[in-house]
Amino acid sequence: MAIAIPPKARLIGRRLLQAAPAIAGIVIITFLLTRALPGDPAVYFAGPAADEASIAEIRKQLGLDRSLPVQFLAYLGDLATGNLGTSISTGQPVLTELITRLPASLELTLIALLLSIAVAVPLGVLAATRPDSWIDHLCRFVVTAGVSLPTFFTGLALVYLFYYLLGWAPPPMGRLDILYLPPDPVTGFYLIDTVIAGDLQATLSALQHLILPAVTLALFTLAPIARMTRAAMLQVLASDFIRTARAAGLSRRKVLFGYAFRNAVLPVITTLGMVFSFALGANVLVEKVFAWPGIGSYAIEALVVSDYAAVQGFVLAMALLFVALNLTIDIIYTLVDPRLRLED
Amino acid sequence: MKRRDFLKAGTATAIGAGMLPFLKVLPASAAVADTLVVVTGTTINSLDLHRTGTNRPSYQVSVNCYDRLLTFGTKTMPDGTLSYDYSKLEGELAESWEIAPDGNSVTFKLKDATFWDGSPVTAEDVKWSLDRAVTVGGFPTVQMKAGSLEKPEQFEVIDAKTFKINFLRQSKLTLPDLAVPVPFIINSKLAKKNATEKDPWAMEYLHRTPAGSGAYKVERWDSGQQLVYSRNDAWKGGPLPAAKRIIVREIPSQSTRRALIERGDVHLSHDIPAKDAKELAAMKSVKVVGAPIENCLHVLCTNFNFEPFKDKKVRQAVAYAVPYAEIFQNAAYERGAQMWGGKSFEPSDISWPQPFPYTTDYDKAKELLSQTAFKDGFEVPLSFDLGTAEWGEPTALLIQEGLAKIGIKASIDKIPGANWRTVALVEKKLPLHLDNFGGWLNTPDYYFFWAYVKGNLFNSSNYDDAEMMQLVNETLHMPMDNPDYAPKIKRMIAKAFEEVPRIPLYQPNLDVAMRPGVEGYEAWFHRMPDVRTLTFKTA
């Protein structure tokens, strides 16, 4: 006798199962790719004045003297116990680093994304409803500027203007003012943790520090969202059912938000998923400019010095994040699109 | 089970030493009056210099948090800035020291110093620490060896406050080598308590938790973000530092660091690019202090593995085809010392580094080249380390232009930092490349030992010369007042002039930007910020 499983749970289960081979593939590929990186970590970490013997010693310590399959098995064994190894360049366990750094990146990316949605979606909708008006041109300008300005440039320009010249923004020295201490980590999101700790002054400081980097990143992510909203709205507004709705005398508001927007939002959600993932990548430069202790700068540093454990840990964490992200988007889909619900 | 530990570590406020009570928010007034903020572009990756993989920026923890037996004195430079003084050794933990009449050992009397936990610093601690440095392998052991400190048997505890080192050979490098950041003295009782059978030297523990007697304790370390020092009021190693708390923040973006120091939100920006140094120095609102790094040169290396460079005349032709003045302007921004245009091929003194007798003279270069089998020129890749692209890139481009004028076609080859050591220093297979070696111990023979002796790490030119090797071996341990010393060193320098396996471009500066109220900054060979001497007054 089959146990009745609610369709949503079944969907989640199926998606999770589908993710398993992808993750297995990622584990293998990152392992091989890191080994294919140029450079010899043992020589690098032995330091400038090392001799042959000390390099060999370090190679042994890193386990790099063993054959690839043996290294891989050891890696799998570690993974199974939740041990991602120790990053030799930062000297910290990779898991600890990820736990402390990932929330910093996520907080920044999420806030930036919320900001850009708040601007881009209305902008796209307005541009679509009034083609070739000034707002459409504004939309086009913002989109072009957002795509073509490199984030580190926008970041530096904002720092120059708001910190260096005007002095409105706090010093770009990370997530909190130098006089504040990080709150006890609960979520790792300073905005939330400082509230939990009841330290509203620190919340304010965290927010102030977040604004410039978030705006920088938002400018960058705004473009695809606005474009996609505009295109999807235009397409939907030109379709038959909208014409019918209009002909039936429904109010403009009802047509626009009840029917058109609801249908246009599907491709926008897909885009959001993509934008979120590449925003996490684009973070690197923003993190560098604002000394943001995030995951992007960590990964780049690790890559430059062939720090195997850190690179593997980072890619794996990102892979898991993507699986979770895609799952979330699929679930949102079922909420928005009734057709998907009918399938089950 | 491990996973749980990591999660726990993640939930603790800070990794490592951040367990001391630290107010939620520092009172702003106290912070302004007593806290000094330093920014750097590099990351500290360990609090223990002896650990495998500890990077150079981390050496500052050894400098500021630990004591050594000896340290160097201070001298005032002609321009009024302060520098360490290689010629003057002073006691840090040592009250006094005495070389035995036979010259084969030295005995130290220790000061009545205590570690941070209040326990006394004893000869046992000194022995354990030096044993550790010569045993753990890697860089610390190599550096100890440079001072002929190689075996634990050399180190002898006489009584609680008396410590003896037996020499393997009499060497002028032994005592100075005790003042470099490597042989720092650890609280051995505390370390041993945290050692395990697998980890007898407590590498895991000391990596995050320093245990020393130095001027500053580590109050908290947020890896990749900041290191907070707090003053040890019971410090015996020297005069009590002025700043009660020093925050070293890591700011990767160079432009951001510059904005911070210009706006005055930080007190000191360490190791700034030459371009910024030049511009900030001109602006006067920020104080820039820079001194040429002792015993360090930016050089162009011609590798003997590459057929044309086996010919001395080709190497000399290259040396005449380098646009030195342009490089000094566009890569060094005139921050450093010129190393070209020396008067004669016979050095008049033993100062090192000193200008080589080459200038930019394309006619002479062409003439020299025409006397060789390569008169029609040749092609050669010119490599540099991407990690040093700041000066490497403009330098390489200018050299490429210069060489083109005498018919040598150089193609620029950028090598990522992670590969650099392997290909340039270990395999030594780059035909023409830029290098920036500097020796910690400031004697010419020490530089020559690393850079001109076959097989040694920084001899990336594969220079192999029996006479040079013999000269280096004879002078390396010889006291500098030995009558044979100066003539031999002159001969070494003359050979370097004549044979130019390494063509010096300039001696680089280490530049530091400070707010006007900050005083007491001292330039050190280890290129780390020594925060112990800094004083500041708020405007």
Query: Quick check: A61 and B52 CB within 8 A?
Result: yes
Give the pLDDT score at A13: 79
Residues A284 and A147 in one domain: yes
pLDDT > 70: what percent of chain B? Answer: 93
Query: Quick check: A43 and B141 CB within 8 A?
Result: no
> For B440, which residue in chain A has the nearest alpha carbon?
A49
Task: State how far residue B237 is from chain A, nearest Cα, in angstroms.
Answer: 28
Give the pLDDT score at A72: 87
* Rounded Cα–Cα distance for residues A296 and A97 (Å): 12
**Residue A301 forms contact with B (CB below 8 Å):** yes
CB < 8 Å from A in window 422-441 of B: 422, 425-426
Kindly state the tokens that stand for B396: 């390489």
Tell me if A284 is assigned to some domain.
Answer: yes
Give the pLDDT score at B26: 42
* Higher pLDDT among residues A62 and B481, named by residue: B481
SS3 (DSSP) at B67? strand
Concatenated DSSP letters for B256-295? HHHHHHHHTSSSEE-S--HHHHHHHHHH-SSEEEEEEPTT
Give the pLDDT score at B95: 95
* Rounded Cα–Cα distance for residues B8 and B288 (Å): 44
**Residue A227 forms contact with B (CB below 8 Å):** no
Give the pLDDT score at A100: 87
CB < 8 Å from A in window 455-484 of B: 457
| Low-confidence residues in chain A, pLDDT < 70 | 1-5, 7-8, 38-39, 46-51, 340-344
Tell me if A10 is assigned to some domain.
Answer: no
Residue position matching structure tokens 């370090």: A58
> CA B340: distance to chain centroid?
23
pLDDT by residue (tens digit) across B161-220? Answer: 999 999 999 999 999 999 999 999 999 999 999 999 989 999 989 999 999 999 999 999
* Rounded Cα–Cα distance for residues A141 and A153 (Å): 18
Contacts with A39 from chain B: Cβ below 8 Å:
416, 418-419, 422
Tell me if A5 is assigned to some domain.
Answer: no
Query: Residue A9 CB: number of other CB atoms within 10 A?
Result: 9
Query: Quick check: A43 and B142 CB within 8 A?
Result: no
Query: Quick check: B417 and A304 CB within 8 A?
Result: yes
Whether residue B207 contacts residue A87, with contact meaning beta carbons closer than 8 Å, is answered with no
Give the pLDDT score at B9: 39
Contacts with A174 from chain B: Cβ below 8 Å:
225-226, 249
The strand pairing partners of B185, in sequence order, are B67
**Residue A57 forms contact with B (CB below 8 Å):** yes
Query: Quick check: B417 and A178 CB within 8 A?
Result: no
For residue A53, what are the CA distances in angstroms to A50, A76, A147, A328, B473? 8, 29, 51, 52, 22
Kindly state the tokens that stand for A262: 């609801």
A-B Cβ pairs (cutoff 8 Å, strict)? 186
Whether residue B475 contacts residue B482, with contact meaning beta carbons closer than 8 Å, is answered with no
Query: Which band of pLDDT confidence, cut at 50, 70 and 90, is reported for residue B25?
Result: very low
CB < 8 Å from A in window 207-266 of B: 207, 222-226, 247, 249-253, 255-256, 259-260, 262-263, 265-266
Give the pLDDT score at B8: 41
Query: Quick check: A288 and B253 CB within 8 A?
Result: yes
SS3 (DSSP) at B235? coil
Query: Quick check: A39 and B418 CB within 8 A?
Result: yes
* Higher pLDDT among residues B316 and B264, named by residue: B316
Domain boundaries, chain B: 27-267+515-536, 298-509
Give the pLDDT score at B18: 34
For residue B357, what are the CA distances in angstroms to B178, B319, B353? 35, 10, 12
Tell me if A1 is assigned to some domain.
Answer: no
Task: State how far residue B529 is from chain A, nearest Cα, in angstroms.
Answer: 19
Residues A106 and A41 in one domain: no
The strand pairing partners of A86, in sequence order, are A93
The candidate with the shortest Cα–Cα distance to A291, out of B352, B265, B333, is: B265
Kindly state the tokens that stand for B172: 């002028």
* Higher pLDDT among residues A194 and B320, named by residue: B320
Contacts with B441 from chain A: Cβ below 8 Å:
none
**Residue A46 forms contact with B (CB below 8 Å):** yes
The strand pairing partners of B107, in sequence order, are B98, B164
- Which H helix or E strand runs over A191? helix A190-196
Task: State yes or no: ipTM above 0.85.
Answer: no
From first CA to last CA, the distance across chain A in angstroms is: 19
Residue position matching structure tokens 């709150």: A183
Give the pLDDT score at B17: 34
Query: Quick check: B417 and A181 CB within 8 A?
Result: no
**Residue B285 forms contact with A (CB below 8 Å):** no
Query: Quick check: A89 and B142 CB within 8 A?
Result: no
Give the pLDDT score at A42: 76
pLDDT by residue (tens digit) across B400-432? Answer: 999 999 999 999 999 987 778 778 888 899 999
Residues A53 and A111 in one domain: no
Query: Quick check: B10 and A99 CB within 8 A?
Result: yes
Residues A264 and A142 in one domain: yes
- The three state secondary structure string of B106-164 is EEEEECCCECCCCCECCHHHHHHHHHHHHHCCHHHHHHHHHCCCCCHHHEEEEECCEEE
Give the pLDDT score at A270: 85
For residue B223, what are the CA distances in angstroms to B140, B194, B240, B474, B529? 22, 21, 27, 45, 18
**Residue A289 forms contact with B (CB below 8 Å):** yes
Residues A200 and A74 in one domain: no
Kindly state the tokens that stand for B113: 């110093």
CATH number among 3.40.50.2300, 3.40.190.10, 3.20.20.150, 3.40.50.2020, domain B27-267+515-536:
3.40.190.10
In the DSSP assignment, the letter for residue B310 is: G
For residue A35, what are the CA distances in angstroms to A30, B419, B425? 8, 14, 22
Q: What is the mean pLDDT of residues B104-126?
A: 95
> Nearest-5° angle of CA A169, CA A171, CA A172?
95
Query: Quick check: B223 and A90 CB within 8 A?
Result: yes
Chain A contact probe: residue of B255, B261, B525 with most A CBs at under 10 A: B255
Kindly state the tokens that stand for B266: 């930080």
Query: Which band of pLDDT confidence, cut at 50, 70 and 90, is reported for residue B32?
Result: low
Concatenated DSSP letters for A225-285? HHHHHHHHHHHHHTSHHHHHHHHTT--HHIIIIIIIHHHHHHHHHHHHHHHHHHHHHHHHH
* Rounded Cα–Cα distance for residues A207 and A264 (Å): 32
Residue range(s) defining the domain that contains residue A55:
30-83
B377, with CB counted inside 10 A (0-12, 13-18, 19+), is middle
Query: Residue B409 CB: number of other CB atoms within 10 A?
Result: 13
Concatenated DSSP letters for B173-204? THHHHTTSSSS-B--HHHHHHT--SS-TT-HH
pLDDT over 70 at B365, yes or no? yes
CB < 8 Å from A in window 488-517 of B: none
Task: State how far residue B9 is from chain A, nearest Cα, in angstroms.
Answer: 7
Among the partner-chain residues B15, B28, B139, the one whose CB lies closest to the CB of A92 is B15
Residues A210 and A293 in one domain: yes
> What is the domain count for chain A?
2
Give the pLDDT score at B158: 95
Q: Kindly tell me the sign of the dihedral angle through the C-alpha atoms of B249, B384, B299, B52.
A: positive
Kindly state the tokens that stand for A308: 């195997």
* Rounded Cα–Cα distance for residues B344 and B358 (Å): 9
Tell me if A12 is assigned to some domain.
Answer: no
Residues A51 and A191 in one domain: no
Q: In CATH, what is the architecture of B298-509?
A: Roll (3.10)
* Rounded Cα–Cα distance for residues B459 and B473 (Å): 15
Give the pLDDT score at A62: 74
pLDDT over 50 at B321, yes or no? yes
Q: Kindly tell me the sign of the dihedral angle through the C-alpha atoms of A158, A164, A170, A173.
A: positive
Contacts with A181 from chain B: Cβ below 8 Å:
13, 22-25
Backbone angles phi, psi at A65, to 5 degrees: -85, -10
Residues A107 and A208 in one domain: yes
Query: Quick check: B11 and A180 CB within 8 A?
Result: no
What is the value of pTM for the model shown? 0.84
**Residue A267 forms contact with B (CB below 8 Å):** no
Residues A275 and A333 in one domain: yes
Residues A146 and A195 in one domain: yes
Give the pLDDT score at B28: 38
pLDDT over 50 at B60, yes or no? yes
> What is Dmax (Cα atoms) for chain A?
86
Give the pLDDT score at A334: 76
- Which H helix or E strand runs over B381? strand B379-385
Residues A120 and A67 in one domain: no
Give the pLDDT score at A118: 93
Query: Residue B85 CB: number of other CB atoms within 10 A?
Result: 15
Residue type, A142: V
- B13's CB contacts (< 8 A; 6+ apart) are A181, A182, A184, A185, B220
The strand pairing partners of B98, in sequence order, are B107
Query: Quick check: B259 and A160 CB within 8 A?
Result: yes
* Rounded Cα–Cα distance for residues A156 and A213 (Å): 10
Task: State how far residue A139 is from chain B, nearest Cα, in angstroms.
Answer: 31
Averaged pLDDT of chain B: 89
**Residue A187 forms contact with B (CB below 8 Å):** no
Number of residues that make up chain B: 539
Contacts with B150 from chain A: Cβ below 8 Å:
none
Domain CATH code at residue A270: 1.10.3720.10
Task: State how far residue B256 is from chain A, nearest Cα, in angstroms.
Answer: 6
* Rounded Cα–Cα distance for residues B332 and B273 (Å): 9
